[in-house]
Each structure stands twice: as structure tokens, then as C-alpha cells.
Amino acid sequence: MGILSILGIGNGKIKEALKRGATVIDIRTANEFDQGKVRDSINIPIDRISINLQRIRQMRTPIIICSNFDSENEKAISYLKANGVKEIYNGGSWTRVLKITRSI
């Protein structure tokens, strides 16, 4: 995660996307997701992103990717952008996105 995000400065884009109805995709394992998640988020584990590409492309909202590891988020985002997904954001950890959603 970038220094601006750690300082909370990068929260504005995530918050704005959420206000516009963003879809939160949590790329952790199903077991991790079941132990805690952002309300209304969907779980597509990172190893299932490619087989869900068409489904993700059809989403008509901004997309926020979250997990436990920023490197996994960036990997998923790079793949999705390379495959035509336009408005996508790195939400950082799922707990960070959870805090942002609670502040709206």
C-alpha cells in the first residue's frame, strides 16, 4: 500500500467510488472471507479471477479490490486492467475498506 493510503489520504477515491455504488471484490480465500467481510462484498479468490473475468467485465459499477495483501490486490488489478476492466481501485486490506464503508 502506498504511503498516501497509509496516511489516509488515498481514502477519498475509495469513498467516492463507494458512494457511486462500487462493487467490492474480496480476493481472499472463501474461508478467510467467511470469517469477516465488508457488507455486500463478493468473494472471488485471486486464483478464480481469470475464470470470472466475463462476470467482472459485465459489472457496471466501479470495482474495489481488497484482500489481506496489497501485492495480491495489485496482481488482480493488473490482470483485470489488461483485460479491459476500466474503473478499478486498490482498496488495500478488507478491514480498511470496512472502516471506509462505516464512515460514509
Domains along the sequence of the chain with CATH: 3-102 (3.40.250.10)
pLDDT digits (tens, 9 = 90+) for 20-70: 999 999 999 999 999 999 999 999 999 999 999 999 999 999 999 999 999
Nearest to 60 by CA among 100, 20, 15: 20
Q: What is the pLDDT of residue 11?
A: 86
Q: What is the pLDDT of residue 10?
A: 67
